[in-house]
Structure 1
Amino acid sequence: MKLFRLLMLCLFFLSAMGQLPSQDILALLEFKKGIKHDPTGYVLSSWNDESIDFDGCPSSWNGVVCNGGNVAAVVLDNLGLSTEADLSVFANLTKLVKLSMSNNSMTGKIPDNIGDFKSLEFLDVSNNLFQVLYQQDLSLDLSRNSFSGSLPVLLTRLNNLIYLNLSSNGFTKRIPRGFDLILGLKVLDLHGNMFDGHLDSEFFLVTNASHVDFSSNMLVSSSPEKLLPGLSESISYLNLSHNQLTGSLISGGELRLFASLNVLDLSYNQLSGDLPGFDFAYELQVLRLRNNRFSGFIPNDLLKGDLYY
């Protein structure tokens, strides 16, 4: 009998410990505090500390997916939620893989600790009312992860962004427009993804970025006839290699695209026609054009010996 009572007492304490709010639960409840209107009751009716599983993860909460006692996904799309959202609380969900809350009426700001979301692979907060306000310059490096899907448009609203590296991931579809509007952006590195669609002529014409790397994607030229209509003088490093670019580097006379470049890599594409003289590219130090379909003569200025190929 004493052994039975001791066993029941142990189970009681284990059960009580299982009900203690975990870090994940506290983070979700903190987010819930900002909800002003939940027209379907999807969140407010189920997110409470009385409905927690034995392992401490609220898998019975609507929109919450658990894995091994941790919150792995929060999916709250298309609910009409009106909330003052503090997305920084989700950084406390150390095993969070997916965060999707698109098509609501959420306000607030995109946190500057978005790089601290250690396990996050999918983020979609599109079609909301978020603002991005920072007092300091922002550098964001999420390279060499397993991110996939479309690139979040919210990244084009990071007004204080100066460095963005999303290389070596699995992003697909088109590169969203708007990076040219980030006046302080100096480095944009998107190489090693699966982006497709046309090069954004507007971005290349007006960007203030000095380092642009879109290599190893599936991008095509801005038009079938020519690579780009023009190039911003701010760009000194341009790598568009290993894409599906077509057209000529010359269109209606020499196209003085590359006058300000130090490095130009257009290798492994489908570019064709004659080569420009490059006599106007006074700063050019590295030029890579191999594995294309160029024809005609090699311009004398490419044989001066002061270029690295």
Structure 2
Amino acid sequence: MFVVLVHSNSYDAFYLSCGAMYLIACIALLLLVAAINSLYAALGSPLLPGWIASGGDPCAEAWQGVQCNGSDIMSIVLNGANLGGQLGDNLGMFASIKAIDLSNNQIGGNIPSNLPVTMQNFFLSANQFSGSIPDSLSSLTMLTDMSLNNNNLSGEIPDAFQSLSGLINLDLSNNKLSGSLPPSMENLSSLTTLRLQANQLSGTLDVLQDLPLRDLNIENNLFNGPIPEKMLSIPSFKNDGNPFNSTVAPLPGPTSPLAPPHAPPHSVVPASGQTPTSDQTPGKHADGPSASEGSNSSQKKNFLTTKRVVWISIASVLLFIILALALLLFMPKCSRGREEAGGIFKR
């Protein structure tokens, strides 16, 4: 009797376990259906075969563009399906989705901040999305490819790439993005393709110089400063339409210890004003005056010359005034003398 009781309890536990697993699966399926119903409603209930606004089973009923693994939705691909509306706020409810491709539609609104953390491919190019790129991008640690190009996105690129070391391709071109490239982009250690052309991005390219880029397009932006020398070896590098300096930033060289200070020179001193040649480093000047001493000497000479010219000008003016006064004093005497001489001659 005791054995039968244990046996019965084992079956009860088994059935309870199966019931719990079934219940969890049912809840997961209900959440999944709710998520895709919500997306369908947010898109404006377009004419898509199989899609309905409430209920249904997108995997068992083979809804258009939906690919599943069992009862899990793995991808939604509706490229060029004439979709409008928005994405809504429930994309994060897709618990196992790997890819979302809604490119080449007329979807507008903001890109939602609640994104599926399992996503590897995220394509929203050639739509009408506006607003900024969400900071929640940082949670997509499995992301390998993302295209948000040809939209109306604005604001700065978020500093959200710290954990996206697996990202390979990134396209943010043809938007209205502005500001500098975020520092966290230097963590994109797998990035080979980056397209940022036709935006209003500014600042330097320093954060990109150590990335394994093979294809980089930054044309028609506001980038400035010298181009890091490392980036000139990128096989496809398009950078026209930016106010870059004509110089190229040199590669950072190895640091060398500071040379000890030299004793005062005891050999032949060069002529005054002579400066060291270009091949003399700051710690190894020739036996002559330093650049600062030459500059001070030149400034002193210029000051003395200017002072001398001023004094000469003042002396000339004073001399002219004295001569003018002398002439004024002398002219009446001369006139009086002439009158006296004329009177004597008449007598």
What's the TM-score, normalizing by structure 2? Answer: 0.48
Counterpart in 2 of 1:242? 198
1:299 and 1:129 map into 2 onto residues whose CA distance is 44
Judged with a 3 Å threshold, the aligned counterparts in structure 2 of structure 1 residues 177 and 111 are, in CA distance, closer, same or farther, namely farther
1:265 and 1:121 map into 2 onto residues whose CA distance is 30
Shift in Å at residue 119 of structure 1? 5.2
Give 2:129's match in structure 1, choosing from 155, 165, 171: 171
Q: Is the 8 A contact 1:88 1:113 kept in 2?
A: no
2:213 and 2:148 map into 1 onto residues whose CA distance is 19
Q: Is the 8 A contact 2:75 2:98 kept in 1?
A: no
2:135 partner SS: coil
Counterpart in 1 of 2:209? 257
State the AA in 1 paired with 2:220.
Y
Judged with a 3 Å threshold, the aligned counterparts in structure 2 of structure 1 residues 181 and 257 are, in CA distance, closer, same or farther, namely farther
**1:139 lines up with 2:99 in the alignment:** yes
Counterpart in 2 of 1:201? 159
What do the CA deviations read for 1:215-260 (whole angstroms, capped 9, x no partner)? Answer: 00011124xxxx332422121111111100111235xxxx563431
Give 1:233's match in structure 2, choosing from 149, 167, 189: 189
**1:160 lines up with 2:122 in the alignment:** no
2:223 and 2:83 map into 1 onto residues whose CA distance is 38
Q: Is the 8 A contact 1:148 1:172 kept in 2?
A: yes
**1:287 lines up with 2:237 in the alignment:** yes
Counterpart in 2 of 1:214? 172
Task: List alignment gaps of at least 5 residues for structure 1.
Answer: 1-33, 35-82, 101-108, 302-309
2:94 and 2:204 map into 1 onto residues whose CA distance is 40
Judged with a 3 Å threshold, the aligned counterparts in structure 2 of structure 1 residues 205 and 184 are, in CA distance, closer, same or farther, namely closer
Query: 4+ residue stretches of structure 1 with deviation over 6 A?
Result: none
Counterpart in 2 of 1:121? 84
Shift in Å at residue 205 of structure 1? 6.7
2:84 and 2:72 map into 1 onto residues whose CA distance is 17
Query: Where do residues 27-38 of structure 1 align in structure 2 (5 Å cutoff)?
Result: none
Q: Is the 8 A contact 2:98 2:120 kept in 1?
A: yes
State the AA in 2 paired with 1:132.
F
State the AA in 1 paired with 2:212.
S
**1:274 lines up with 2:237 in the alignment:** no
What do the CA deviations read for 1:252-305 (whole angstroms, capped 9, x no partner)? Answer: xxx5634311111111101112221117x76x211111000011325799xxxx
Judged with a 3 Å threshold, the aligned counterparts in structure 2 of structure 1 residues 122 and 111 are, in CA distance, closer, same or farther, namely farther
Shift in Å at residue 142 of structure 1? 1.0
1:164 partner SS: strand
- Corresponding residue pairs, total: 195
2:125 partner SS: coil
2:92 and 2:248 map into 1 onto residues whose CA distance is 52
1:175 partner SS: coil
Q: Is the 8 A contact 2:86 2:109 kept in 1?
A: no
2:149 and 2:141 map into 1 onto residues whose CA distance is 21
Higher relative contact order (CA 8 A, sep 6+): 1
Larger-Rg structure:
2
Judged with a 3 Å threshold, the aligned counterparts in structure 2 of structure 1 residues 148 and 110 are, in CA distance, closer, same or farther, namely farther
2:243 and 2:212 map into 1 onto residues whose CA distance is 25
1:270 and 1:129 map into 2 onto residues whose CA distance is 35
What do the CA deviations read for 1:5-60 (whole angstroms, capped 9, x no partner)? Answer: xxxxxxxxxxxxxxxxxxxxxxxxxxxxx9xxxxxxxxxxxxxxxxxxxxxxxxxx
Could you say which structure has the higher strand fraction? 1
Judged with a 3 Å threshold, the aligned counterparts in structure 2 of structure 1 residues 258 and 122 are, in CA distance, closer, same or farther, namely farther
State the AA in 2 paired with 1:238.
L
State the AA in 2 paired with 1:257.
Q
What's the TM-score, normalizing by structure 1? Answer: 0.53
Q: Is the 8 A contact 1:141 1:165 kept in 2?
A: yes
What do the CA deviations read for 1:59-105 (whole angstroms, capped 9, x no partner)? Answer: xxxxxxxxxxxxxxxxxxxxxxxx99624457695538xx99xxxxx
Q: Is the 8 A contact 1:110 1:131 kept in 2?
A: no
Shift in Å at residue 112 of structure 1? 5.2
Identical amino acids, percent of aligned pairs: 23
Judged with a 3 Å threshold, the aligned counterparts in structure 2 of structure 1 residues 256 and 211 are, in CA distance, closer, same or farther, namely closer
Task: List alignment gaps of at least 5 residues for structure 2.
Answer: 1-26, 54-70, 252-347
Shift in Å at residue 183 of structure 1? 2.1
Q: Is the 8 A contact 1:171 1:195 kept in 2?
A: yes
2:133 partner SS: coil
Q: Is the 8 A contact 1:87 1:110 kept in 2?
A: no
**1:149 lines up with 2:149 in the alignment:** no
